[in-house]
Chains A and B, each alone.
Chain A
Amino acid sequence: MKNFEFLQPLSAADAVAAWTPDAAYLGGGTNLVDLMKTGAMGPDRVIDITRLPDLDRIETTEDGGLRIGALVRNSDLARDPDLLRAAPMVAEALLAGASGQLRNAATVGGNLMQHTRCPYFMDADAACNRRVPGSGCDARGGAWENSAILGQSAACIATNPSDFCVPLAALGALVDVEGPSGGRTVALEAFHKLPGDTPEAETALEPGELVVALRLPAEAASFAGHSRYLKVRERTSYAFALVSAAAALRMDGGRITEGRLALGSVAARPWRIAEADALLAGAMPDDALFARVAERLLEGAEPSNDTGWKIDLARRTVIRALQMAAAGTPDRLPPLPASPFGPSEVAVHA
């Protein structure tokens, strides 16, 4: 591995001050260190932020929302009673991601910032516009079958692989950042960028900016009774999504008063369309409605590489996630969170 300088600042201000264009912040390291090993990333300076004070807390804010420090570990957050109460589908998404060991290490900030799993991005010997601007995109026409179907560009067909971010986008989460020119807040929906001509600009962060917290507004809790995250994947656990969906409904007497939807693993950011959500408001939940919503959400979807099947799968996933949300959030987290498989044991003859 390339030699690098290793810093362990004790304040956010020092961390930001230590940043240079060739530096990288280190959270749990589950993504960064892997990329350093493959040679896809080679920072000269690694700034370990895990000693920054107070960023490992989950607090209830004055307006009743949640403020989650950037260093809270994914496993701790997934089992936090306040989160489970306010946004159970976020816990479901967290627990559907990676493995127990990885979740123990992975941080909230790192999860938000994790890079695409495009194999050509991770392969230092491949051409990749996202990694080396202007070098080309080997994923196009390559052997990657899980590329984008929405929002891709000529320059890049990568997806954002995070499960966590999908329900967060649906629930209107906000990201607090600190940077060389002070602090600011970015809506999670606007946090990850579509590639366009500049796929290297993965997020809305300015150079040197540090994620310090994630905020979940109080109104997120109003969806808690009818919200589910559903993740379709190649094995029952420990696999990135082929397609995932977060569906959150506010229901009143059997009618949907408001609905929020986000799709994961289909684009470089969690995919949301306000018009699709709008179709849900005031409607009675039924499959025909859900199909219309799915159509709207996937409008303009196009395969990149051989991913035509993902469009079909995404439609089915949206419909199922909406059905599950309409049926109500279960009292307890299911044994296989976000999985299409429940606990049923016995086969019956139809």
Chain B
Amino acid sequence: MPEDFTRHERFGSNSGQPMTRRDGIAKVTGTATFAADNTRQGLVHAVYVPATIARGHVTALDTEAATHHPGVLGVMTPANRPDLPGDLDAKPTRFSMRIEVLQDDKVRYAGQPIALVMAETLEAATEGARLVRATYEAETPRTRLDDAETFEVETPDFGMPGETVHGDPEAGHAAAAFSIDATYTTAPQYHNAMESHAVVAEWEGDRLVLDTPSQALAMSCEAYAHLFGIPAENVTLRSPYLGGGFGSKAIPTGPLVLAVLAARDLGRPVKLALTRKQMFGPVGHRGQTRQRIRLGADAEGHLTVIDHEALAATSSFETFLESAANASQGLYAANALRSRHKGVRLDIGTPGPMRAPGEASGSAVLECAMDELAEIVDLDPLEFRLRNYAETEPGTGRPYSSKALRDCYDQGAAAFGWADRPRESGTMRDAEGHLVGWGMGTALFAAPMFAAEARATLHADGTATFETSAADMGQGAWTALAQIAADSLGLPMDRVEFRSGHSALPSGGVAGGSAHTATAGGALHAAGGDVLRQLGELAAQQPDSPLFGAGNAQFEARKGRLHIAGEIDRSDALSDILSRAGRVELVGSGNAARGQEVTEQYAMNSHGAVFAEVRIDPDLCQMRVTRLVGAFAAGRIINPRLAESQLLGGMIWGLSFALHEEARHDARTGRIVNADLAEYHVPVNADVQGLEVITVHEDDQHVNALGIKGVGEIAITGTVGAIGNAIRHATGKRIRHFPIRLQDLL
């Protein structure tokens, strides 16, 4: 573990402030450049042809009409596709997955690219793609969980969850005085970031320049480099802004790789942007699940076992499984815990990480199941959860690095008015006669870290530049990371330039796993620390400096001055130290990653409690979530405004999961029939009201030097179950699938 990471220090005046997004004006005035906004001299437009069957072969591709369409430059098919040097089965990066790049005539899912049309204009390319005629030999597609055999993961890995057992589940079942055994299903969901996946690709000899949204710039460069057989440093990737990623923009996807290939082949820059409909297929999704959960409790309502088994859908050619059952680990104090996973291979695009992957689907089921059992034990749902509060991590017995979940329960319940909840279902009405129901759920999300690097440069005028290739997906990285950076040198924000979103910068790691602020922020903090250390060394040797002779002291900076830690009177201006040393700048570097030891020693999570109120028309059964109160403890909050907006967004996502999102496949063709935002529903403004976020104070001495956990994903967990439970409370009906729809209540 880097040395700078052992202490909390130099935490100044920027962190903790609810600063507005630094890129806000650029975004609302349209001057922020997203990938597809870029253009180039001589730009070629590419549009791919999606397969209209989900399983089988393309037996013939008639490209005649397309080729002759005015403006069309060419049609790339498996027959003439230029060589792609990289091994498509290799996994050059941790998150790499097999992609569809016209390697053969096989169709593995509807929407898979089967040809690429390149043209002088987008219109010509679009029409060219429409004119390509494919003949297929189609087989019956498998799109439902029962359509194929299940399999078990042999070697668990990223996206391949296996089985985790603590204690003796059979004994837990046997010891149960009360138990439930319930099966729930969750629907396939698609990320649908507002900004579709897009690339503008240009080759300069064997150097590749890409404008493309990326949640993991360095990793993306490696993956492109592997595919195209060039060194990673030959890839320049610019991703200053993302219009959302949600896990789907970390690795290259087939359509984008084809555009890069076209650019190499044509010797011209190529742009490709997916249409909304194309977003339902080759760029990942949250796979559908069927989860069986069995809980047991003793006579006092103490859990004896949580036994959670998830069947998750994946594609026929790759393995990524929603690790849903793992949501039952680490939260409630049960004597025995078992999480098991099975997969089923369907003719669908490969699922991938989607905001709270596994946790969202698994928590939905766990939290509903907890309420099912609370009812049988006859305890208030909150009381039941408190009775099973885990003081140390269940199963492992490890201490939590910090856990203010009790405060979350208390503060959330108080703000919501939970104490007034009648135990009976179907007893609350509002003034209009609508059924009212209250439900709750616990939120849990791991607080991991990836690895990141950063550079800090102090200039002679006392300003500084910080650099790391972090990704601002809209969550506000440009702002929160700059706050951390400025604090590391004790500078106000306007004295600091923050550069990011470019692969030439030190790697900012992955914007994922709710770990970006902790990781990239940690690296920036360390880089600033490195500058201070060097400054201290310089000053200690400068007879004119008040810090002369300070030797091995610890230094910290405030308001542009370097202090000996704890000695507020002995300081020197940063710029004076530099000028005395005759330096125009001083460069420090830092990195961040979590050490093995602390990782093994502590369980590290963000926690929260979500309380939901639903109103339901008793006859028409239309539903509305009228209040959502979430209280979350997520370590140090760098920017309360941004953190709150992440948590609000997460709760809205949970609402979307609970009541709206579902991609519907036609079982005969395998095509998704609602692949557009008119019919693939997410909540609209009128569905979102009465939202309240409480951030609960939490100091964490272990999670990392800055005490930062994550807020990006946790709020989905807890919320889905809370809404399912509120619907049960309002109507007396327990619906065991998501989304819950009006007709389920009729």
Contact = CB atoms under 8 A, between A and B. Distances in A.
A138 B669 CA distance: 10
A317 interface: yes
Most chain A beta carbons < 10 A, residue from B621, B666, B687: B666
19 contacts: A1-B126, A2-B127, A38-B277, A99-B684, A125-B52, A138-B666, A232-B620, A234-B660, A234-B742, A237-B684, A239-B681, A312-B746, A313-B746, A319-B619, A340-B617, A340-B622, A346-B431, A348-B429, A348-B431
Interface stretch (B221-229, B278-286, B539-547, B671-679): B671-679
B127 A235 contact: no
A120 B669 CA distance: 12
A349 B664 contact: no
B431 A232 contact: no
Contacts of A312: 746
Interface string A220-242: 00000000000011111111101
A302 to B, nearest CB: 17
B426 to A, nearest CB: 9
B685 interface: yes
Contact of A236 (B277, B613, B621, B684): B684
Contact of A341 (B52, B624, B666, B683): B624
Interface string A226-264: 000000111111111010000000000000000000000
Interface of B: 52, 123, 126-127, 130, 277, 420, 422, 427-432, 434, 436, 613, 615, 617, 619-622, 624, 659-660, 664-669, 671, 673-674, 678-679, 681, 683-687, 741-743, 746
A39 B742 CA distance: 32
Most chain B beta carbons < 10 A, residue from A38, A142, A317: A142
Given A344-B430, A347-B436, A348-B430, A143 B619 contact: no
A123 B622 CA distance: 29
B622 A119 contact: no
B127 A1 contact: yes
B429 A350 contact: yes
A232 B684 CA distance: 15
A339 B678 CA distance: 19
B602 to A, nearest CB: 41
A177 to B, nearest CB: 29
B673 A144 contact: yes
A119 B741 CA distance: 19
B620 A123 contact: no
Given A320-B619, A340-B620, 6 more contacts: A1-B123, A119-B679, A145-B664, A309-B746, A349-B422, A350-B429
Contacts of A336: 686
Q: Give me the 7 closest cross-chain CB pairs, A-B, nearest first.
A: A236-B686, A237-B686, A309-B743, A119-B673, A350-B429, A347-B436, A340-B617
A119 B428 contact: no
Contacts of B52: 125
Interface string A122-148: 010110000000000010011111000
Given A123-B671, A348-B430, A235 B660 contact: yes
Contacts of A348: 428-431
Contacts of A341: 432, 434, 615, 617, 622, 624
A3 interface: yes
Contacts of B660: 234-235
Most chain A beta carbons < 10 A, residue from B422, B427, B660, B743: B743
A338 B684 CA distance: 16
A132 to B, nearest CB: 15
B427 A349 contact: yes
Contacts of A346: 430-431
A280 B665 CA distance: 43
Contact of A320 (B431, B620, B664): B620
Contacts, number: 115
A239 to B, nearest CB: 7
Given A320-B619, A347-B430, A347-B436, A235 B684 contact: yes
A2 B128 CA distance: 9
Interface SS majority for chain B: loop
A316 interface: yes
A182 interface: no
A349 B422 CA distance: 8
Contacts of A21: none
A144 B671 CA distance: 12
Interface size for chain A: under 10, 10 to 19, 20 to 34, or 35 or more residues?
35 or more
Nearest to B664: A143
Nearest to B677: A238
A232 B52 CA distance: 33
A144 B617 CA distance: 24
Contacts of A3: 127
A350 B679 CA distance: 36
A172 B643 CA distance: 55
Interface in A300-342: 309, 312-313, 316-317, 319-320, 336, 339-342
A240 B684 CA distance: 13
Given A2-B127, A144-B673, A234-B660, A317 B427 contact: no
B184 to A, nearest CB: 20
Contact of A234 (B420, B617, B673, B681): B681
A313 B664 contact: no
Contacts of A342: 432
A316 B620 contact: yes
Contacts of B422: 349
Contacts of B431: 344, 346, 348
A291 B620 CA distance: 14
A119 B659 CA distance: 21
A242 B674 CA distance: 15
Nearest to A239: B681
A191 B620 CA distance: 29
A234 B741 contact: yes
A317 B681 CA distance: 22
Contact of A235 (B277, B436, B686): B686
A236 B687 contact: yes
B622 A233 contact: yes
A117 B622 CA distance: 21
A144 B683 CA distance: 20
Contacts of A120: 673
Contacts of B669: 126, 138
A49 B193 CA distance: 35
Contacts of B742: 232, 234, 242, 313
A183 B619 CA distance: 45
Interface in A146-189: none
Contacts of B741: 234
A320 B52 CA distance: 43
A14 to B, nearest CB: 27
B665 A143 contact: yes
A38 B674 CA distance: 13
Contacts of B126: 1
Given A142-B666, A320-B620, A344 B432 contact: yes
A125 B49 CA distance: 13
A145 B434 CA distance: 26
Contacts of A125: 52, 671
